[in-house]
Amino acid sequence: MKAIRIALTKGRLEKYAISMFEDIGIDCTDLKNKGRKLILKDVKNNIEFVLVKSTDVLTYVEHGAADIGIVGKDTLMEQNKEFYEVVDLKVGKCIFAVAALPSFKSYDGYNRKKIATKYPTVAKEYFKKNNEDVEIIKLDGSVELAPILELSDAIVDLVETGDTLRENGLIIIEKICDISARMIVNRASMKMKKDEIGNLIVKVQQYVDKNEAMIK
């Protein structure tokens, strides 16, 4: 049978994934000593890893180039892709929030507010749900600058500690939702490799539960 291919993103999630996979018996030697290799293998367990950008994890999984992906819920919410979301890994925790300068005035229905964000889909859905008519301004860089330079009235962004907001004089106006890393699976792979992927999901969930219990 073809190897189970897992798409990861570089950085903190990659390090967490290595610890998790090693704990459940997967050899991550290749992954830890990758050099310039693009596909990292655990031959014994018939598993392959690929490291890609977070937004590309969804594309690889949706199209079946990867069977499994590990990525933040923020990326899942922003991109409307087809996959199964199977495990909340309970790491990479933060929130989506609306933030602005303290002088920000709530939506009064007369002045159409401008909202700057790197997540236009998330922002659009949130304000639509609240029946608030806003103009979304898409940015790729530091969105905290937008209200300061009067490009926008507020921002929608990920907030972890809130330090960046405070350092720039911004405050949280509204919390949108909680965010954490998730494990996703290609729909066809779930059927074609049901036993292998199902077994992996069980082990990953047990690892998450064990870590949660230790924290508590």
Whether the per-residue pLDDT at 190 is higher than 80: the answer is yes
Whether the per-residue pLDDT at 215 is higher than 70: the answer is no
What mean pLDDT do residues 86-91 have? Answer: 97
In the three-class reduction of DSSP (H, G, I as helix; E, B as strand; rest coil), residue 78 is classed as: helix
40 & 147 share domain: no
Residue 108, pLDDT score: 61
pLDDT in tens, 106-118: 766 567 899 999 9
29 & 39 share domain: yes
165 & 187 share domain: no
154 & 198 share domain: no
Domain total of the chain: 2
Q: What is the pTM of this model?
A: 0.91
Distance, in Å, from the CA atom of 105 to the CA atom of 95, rounded to the nearest integer, reads: 22
173 & 143 share domain: yes
Task: Output the six-digit token pair for 125.
Answer: 């859905």
Residue 171, pLDDT score: 97
Using a pLDDT cut of 70, give the percent of the chain over it: 97
Identify the domain containing residue 83 by its residue range.
4-92+180-215
**What CATH number should be reported for the domain holding residue 185?**
3.40.190.10
152 & 189 share domain: no
Whether the per-residue pLDDT at 69 is higher than 70: the answer is yes
Residue 212, pLDDT score: 80
